[in-house]
Amino acid sequence: MLADLKESIVGRKIGKTRVVPVTTKILFIFLLIILVSNLASNYLNLMFNRTELINQMKDLLGKDLRDIYTFCNNQYEIFQLIHDEKKSVDAIKLKGVAQLKNSHAVVLGLKRDQSYFFTSSKAVKIAPFKDKASFEFMESHRADGVDEGFLPMKINNKDYFAAYKYNSKWQIYLIRAEEENEFYQKQREIFRNVSIMIAIITFLSAVVGTILLRRILKYVRLLTRSIMRMAETQQLEIVDLKKAPNDDITFLGMAFNSLSSTVNNLIGIFQKFANQDIVIKAYRDREVKLEGVQKNLTIMFSDIKSFTFITETLGSDIIRLLNLHYDKAIREIVEHDGIIGAIIGDALLAVFGALDDVSHDGHHNKSLQAVLSGYKMQEVAAALRAEMTAKRDTILKKKGKLSPEEERVYKAVLLEVGVGIDGGDVFYGTLGSHVRMTNTVIGDNVNAASRLEGLTRIYKVPVICSQYVKNDIEESGNTEIYFQELDTVQVKGKTTGTKIYWPMQASQIDDTTEKALEFFVRGLKFYYNGDWPKAYKEFTRCKLKVARVFEERTLDSKAPAKWNGIWEMKTK
């Protein structure tokens, strides 16, 4: 609750920048204007009143001074009769005190030698007169024939406003003075009290204004929070404006939603045509650069067998069939952290390990993911064949048999896929121009994966991988995959032989398969050693399809001259 209130007032920090709510800014400016205008009005009113007060003070001081002047003259006449100066002075003092209301107000009788003839005050002890400037002012004006007036004066080192009049009988300056600070005290108290009232009213206005503005600008906060959340998650959303009022803020939200929907649609299209790592980099770097790096990746190449026959049979319908297959196959590849390097008709190139630098969802062994994806593709193809077979059976129940053309179409839609997997250091990046670019992988391992896929047709196994894939998975400590060595081959264009493996899912190996593998392993050992008669016997006992390949090779019961255990391929 307090955190939400604090955030609604002072805002939220995004990075090093604090995003201050517009409500706070509006209130601050509004309250500042109210305070300044009210205080300024109050101060101006005080200044105007002060001018009037000064005029009133002059009248008051003048009146008091005339009274004391007349009283002094009367006392002078009494003094002439009784010749008792002290008594007359005491009477003047009492008269002066009787005129005073403020504690610091004074009535003075100042001789021409700047000593006091008398002093009258309710509470102030008056120090010797030291304001020479004021005395000289009165003297100079008296010399000019002006024996009364108003002037500021220093008494007891404090500022006073004084009215003076020269009494020629006593030969003194009669001074009636009020201390400025005391005189203005009431005004300051009024100003303070009014200012406090202004502050209270302003605070109450702020509370009411906050409530009203929060209600009015509710959807501004909603928009801001939604956009902040989108900035953090790097995903655009639609802001809920169901109960928003019909104003320009709602229109702004609707415009944002429209833009968000459009951008999301474009991003969705972009994600379908670009790999996940490119999408992540585009979000992170706000651009896609033409650049490439050397990376250690696993490459999977798949190809649809008998594609020429399928194309000739289906015509343009081949696109629908391919989409049925690729829709599920590509989903499986992406599910296993793979990215699509290329789709070329019947062939698909996938790359594993490219997301390790940009994704933090947890890293899996890239070669294991490739092998698992390869078998998922086999499952997808098998499911499609089963679906097509079910449709054929339905037609057979209705019609009794298929026409030659229907039989040909049925054979064409029974897709079979071969998968080859290799890995190693390749060049991976974005190739092309700033007008049109594509993501690609370049390296001998890519070609090797393609050749391994081609060997699946020869060795009659669904997936073939290289020594690199076997080592990569086994070094990770994974036991899901059992690697059966198939052969040592020298593919066309190469000068050395390389071992190839059939990666099998350990969970799918039953007792029958395990027994067949034992025969195959023994046969392969004799095969490598050049003892083909013994190899032939073992291969004939093996029930695996791959054994038929070696059974045919060793049928002559004699290894070729200079046999080194490497089978040289004549075609790619």
Q: What is the mean pLDDT of residues 59-76?
A: 90
Question: What pLDDT sits at residue 155?
Answer: 92
Within a domain: 246: no
In a domain, 410, yes or no: yes
CB 187 within 8 A of CB 209: no
- Asked if pLDDT for residue 198 goes beyond 70, the answer is yes
Q: What percent of the chain has pLDDT over 90?
A: 41
If you ran DSSP here, which 8-state letter would residue 570 be given?
A: S
Beta strands in 122-171 (DSSP E): 148-155, 158-167
Per-residue pLDDT at 260 exceeds 70: yes
Indicate whether 469 and 366 sit together in one domain: yes
CB neighbour burial string for 400-437, b if at least 16 within 10 angstroms, e if fewer: eeeeeeeeebbebbbbebbbbbbbbebebbbeeeeeeb
Please report whether residue 247 resides in a domain. no
Domains: count for the chain: 2
pLDDT score of 273: 57
Phi, psi angle pair for 162, to nearest 5°: -125, 150
Q: What is the CATH number of the domain that holds 77?
A: 3.30.450.20
Q: Is the distance from CB of 377 to CB of 305 less than 8 angstroms?
A: no
Sort 46 into a burial class: Cβ within 10 Å, 0-12 / 13-18 / 19+: middle
Provide the pLDDT confidence category of residue 362 given band limits of 50, 70 and 90. very low
Task: Indicate if 160 and 291 belong to the same structural domain.
Answer: no
Query: Crossing angle for the helix pair 22-82 and 2-10, nearest 10 degrees?
Result: 80
- Check: CB of residue 470 under 8 Å from CB of residue 486: no
Residue 409 lies in a domain: yes
| Of 435, 438, 436, 427, the residue nearest 278 (C-alpha) | 438
Distance CA 94, CA 68 (A): 10
Q: Are residues 289 and 183 in the same domain?
A: no
CA-to-CA distance for 568 and 390, rounded, in angstroms?
42
Residues with Cβ within 8 Å of 155's Cβ and at least 6 positions away in sequence, in order, are 106, 108, 126, 127, 129, 131, 162, 177, 179
Question: Is 299 part of a structural domain of the chain?
Answer: yes
Residue 401 in domain: yes
CATH number, domain containing residue 419: 3.30.70.1230
| 99-142 pLDDT tens trace | 888 888 999 999 999 999 999 998 878 899 999 999 999 999 99
**CA-to-CA distance for 89 and 71, rounded, in angstroms?**
11
Higher pLDDT, 261 or 381: 381
- Please tell me which residue, 82 or 274, carries the higher pLDDT value: 82
- 162 lies in the same domain as 293: no
Distance between CA atoms of residues 390 and 2, nearest Å:
64
Strand partners, 295: 426
Query: 344-377 as b/e, with b when 16 or more CB fall inside 10 Å?
Result: eebebbbbbbbbbeeeeeeebbbbbbbbbbbbbb
Class of residue 523 by CB neighbours under 10 A (exposed 0-12, middle 13-18, buried 19+): buried
Can you give the pLDDT at residue 23?
A: 62
Residue at which a domain ends, from 152, 187, 222 = 187
- Residues 179, 281, single domain; the answer is no
Please indicate, yes or no, whether residues 182 and 307 belong to a single structural domain of this protein: no
Query: Within a 10 A sphere around the Cβ of 164, how many other Cβ atoms?
Result: 25
Count the alpha carbons within 13 Å of 143 in the hemisphere toward its beta carbon: 7
Pairing verdict, β 158-167 and 172-179 = antiparallel
Point out the domain boundary residue: 132, 152, 187: 187
| 287: its two tokens | 């651009």
211-224: per-residue pLDDT in tens?
776 666 666 667 67
Q: Is residue 262 predicted with pLDDT exceeding 60?
A: yes
What is this structure's pTM? 0.60
- Are 303 and 453 in contact by the 8 Å Cβ rule? The answer is yes
482 and 354 in a common domain? yes
Q: What is the pLDDT of residue 433?
A: 66
Q: Which of 187, 217, 249 is the last residue of a domain?
A: 187
pLDDT surpassing 90 at residue 474: yes
Question: DSSP characters for 500-566?
Answer: EEEEEEGGG--HHHHHHHHHHHHHHHHHHHT-HHHHHHHHHH--SHHHHHHHHHGGGSSPPTT--S-
Same domain as 287, residue 169: no
Question: 126: domain range?
Answer: 26-187
Same domain, 170 and 307: no
> Coil, strand or helix: which one is 176?
strand
CB count, 10 Å around CB of 330?
19
Asked whether 294 and 342 are in contact (CB, 8 A), the reply is: no
Residue 265 inside a domain? The answer is no
pLDDT tens per residue, range 309-326? 888 888 888 898 899 899
Q: Give pLDDT, residue 478.
A: 86
Residues 177 and 290 occupy one common structural domain: no
Instruction: Let me know whether 436 and 557 are in one domain.
Output: yes
Would you list the DSSP string of 316-376? GGHHHHHHHHHHHHHHHHHHTTEEEEEEETTEEEEEESGGGGT--S----HHHHHHHHHHH
Structure tokens at 305: 């067998």
Task: State residue 175's pLDDT score.
Answer: 94
Tokens 């449709």 found at: 391
Question: What are the tens digits of pLDDT across the range 3-49?
Answer: 555 555 555 565 566 655 666 666 667 667 777 777 677 667 666 66
Q: Give the residue-averaged pLDDT of 302-315.
A: 89
What is the reported pLDDT for 540? 95
Q: Using the predicted structure, report yes or no on whether residue 572 has a pLDDT greater than 70.
A: no
The total of other beta-carbon atoms located within 10 Å of residue 312's CB is 11
CA distance 495 to 477: 33
Count other Cβ atoms within 10 Å, centred on residue 238: 13
Pairing outcome for strands 172-179 and 338-344: unpaired
226 belongs to a structural domain: no
